[in-house]
A and B are shown apart, each in its own frame.
Chain A
Amino acid sequence: MTRKERIRKILVFSVYILILSSVQVTFPDFFTFHGQVADLMLVFVVMTGYFYGPIDGAVVGLIVGFIRDYFAGPSLGGNSNIPGATLGIGMLVFMYIGIMSAIFFTKTFHRRLLLGFVQIFIFTIIYKVGGHIMSFLVQILSGRGVEYLSFSHIILDSILPQIAVNLVAAILVILLIRYIGPYKKGVNKLLIEEMDRSGDAWQIV
């Protein structure tokens, strides 16, 4: 990779990370459907990993996760009177989302454009299900009882609306990555060598 390409990659990723993260937490009402905010940060990390590989996915996921912790990190730990703000959970979760989205299904999907939406669908479900499980476990471990959201509430009011808004947000993110992305013509040349087909990696089914 030339120096110019490296600078372009760093600059473009930095701008997208800062803008998408800030927009998500500053205007949550604008991108809301049925109580769920479009998770621009999650979509960006998944698309980065899916299109550009595990290293880009991991690094972008780590940084996005840190910003998520900084802006709105969950409350865990502390003592019974003063709960503590925890740093690091977002970093860990998003780093692994970036890596997994680069590994799972990418060979099957051949990193095709439209199948990126399927990737968003899959990882939104993984994130929401994992989040609810962790939330339930934390609630039990902290002694707040076993009462939690009902199964139908989780499916109808949490997961399905989140999938819908994330898929809509993915349109914007894919357009940004494809046409104003970190790589020329939206292709990470290092990944081309790993793929079966040669030539343009942007295939529409």
Chain B
Amino acid sequence: MRRLLSSKLFILLMVTLLIVAVIIFSSIPGNPIHGITTPFSYVLDPVQKGIKSIGDNISGFFVSVSDGMSIRNENEALKAEIAELEYEVAQGEEATRRWEELKDAFQIKDSFENYTIIGTAILTREADEWFSVIRIDSGTNDGISVSSEESYAVVDARMNLVGRILSADEESAKVLPLLHEGFSVSAKVNTVNGAVVRVTGETSLKQDGLCKITRIPALIDLKVGDELVTSGQGGLFPAGIPIGVVVSVDYSSDLNRSATLRPYVNIMEIKDVFVMMPIKEDVETTTTENT
């Protein structure tokens, strides 16, 4: 018995079975496995942030040396542009004030008024084509909690769709990017009564930076150049978030009409993203109001 327990093959078999159990258990919605990774984040995150900081400083030094002259010239041009923009900002502030007045008057609902927007930095990007989930620097401590029924949309600074929250621990969260083959969102053409379609990630298109468009209605023809935004169906993504532009269509088969979309966002270039969390109504306040 002792020989069996100390046998390398037996130990390997036991470890393999344990890992398979972890894989199966972590695939179940609502499992607590991801909370177990929290202690490791206290070691891994500081190291990874330190390396990121060193790398950014080194690349920043070389960029500053090589771009010194062009930066000086650009600075002069920007100063002139700033003066012009300050004038436009003043004009814009006046227009915003008028818009607020009109909004109150006509009770125009701002699409994203019901969302709390949390800005956060991207910590890590893809390791390879299969390990391609990205991590951000906000977690459950910042209010990001994911369950089997709830997740959050992630956008960039221009409100273009980046992906959705996949899982979270205390200090960080994983984001499923829209190029990932597991990603799917209901979209519509950005016109009045635009057709509703489905945008998904696709393995064969991922390396080209494209997504697949499916469920195109039979009587509707998408055109190259059509802009797609989120439709709001399903309740996860608010309506109106820009996704991308149609770059090709394939109507060779009536049963399998599809198209490809180039997303607005380039995940390798953005450094910061924003998590959109719906504002939950206070239950006690609602109960008090009802009585």
Residue positions of A touching B, CB distance < 8 A? 18-19, 22-30, 35-37, 39, 41, 54-55, 58, 62, 66-79, 81-92, 95, 99, 131, 134-135, 139, 144, 147-150, 153, 157-158
Set A29, A62, A74, A157: member contacting B131, Cβ < 8 A: A74
Does chain A have a CB within 8 A of B211?
no
Distance A77 CA – B255 CA, assembled complex (angstroms): 28
Set B128, B130, B204, B268: member contacting A148, Cβ < 8 A: B204
Q: Would you mind naming 10 contact pairs between A and B with Cβ atoms under 8 Å apart? A: A71-B124, A77-B29, A82-B151, A83-B166, A84-B29, A84-B31, A85-B34, A87-B23, A144-B200, A148-B203
Set B26, B126, B207: member contacting A77, Cβ < 8 A: B26
Set A37, A79, A86, A144: member contacting B127, Cβ < 8 A: A37
Does chain A have a CB within 8 A of B57?
no
- Which among B8, B16, B23, B202 has the highest number of chain A CB atoms within 10 Å? B23
Would you give the shortest CB distance from A189 to chain B, in whole angstroms? 19
In the complex, the chain B residue whose C-beta lies closest to that of A39 is B128
The answer to whether A72 touches B132 (Cβ under 8 A) is yes
Set A62, A73, A76, A82: member contacting B174, Cβ < 8 A: A73
- Could you give, for residues 17-49 of chain B, a 1 whenever the CB lies within 8 Å of some chain A CB and a 0 otherwise? 001101100111101011001001101100110
**Which residues of A have CB within 8 Å of B29?**
77-79, 82, 84
In the complex, the chain B residue whose C-beta lies closest to that of A58 is B12
The answer to whether A92 touches B51 (Cβ under 8 A) is no
In the complex, the chain B residue whose C-beta lies closest to that of A69 is B131
Size category of the binding interface on chain B: 35 or more
**Which residues of B have CB within 8 Å of A66?**
40
- Which among A26, A58, A86, A150 has the highest number of chain B CB atoms within 10 Å? A26
Contact count A vs B, C-beta below 8 Å? 167
**Which residues of B have CB within 8 Å of A85?**
26, 34, 133, 166-167, 174
**Which residues of A have CB within 8 Å of B183?**
83
In the complex, the chain A residue whose C-beta lies closest to that of B122 is A26
- Which among B26, B37, B131 has the highest number of chain A CB atoms within 10 Å? B131
The answer to whether A92 touches B27 (Cβ under 8 A) is no
Distance A157 CA – B207 CA, assembled complex (angstroms): 9
The answer to whether A18 touches B52 (Cβ under 8 A) is no
The answer to whether A158 touches B181 (Cβ under 8 A) is no
The answer to whether A92 touches B28 (Cβ under 8 A) is no
Known A-B contacts A35-B207, A135-B130, A135-B203; the reply to A87 vs B34 at CB < 8 A is yes
- Which among B47, B203, B236 has the highest number of chain A CB atoms within 10 Å? B203
The answer to whether B26 touches A72 (Cβ under 8 A) is no
Set A19, A135, A157: member contacting B51, Cβ < 8 A: A19
The answer to whether B23 touches A92 (Cβ under 8 A) is yes
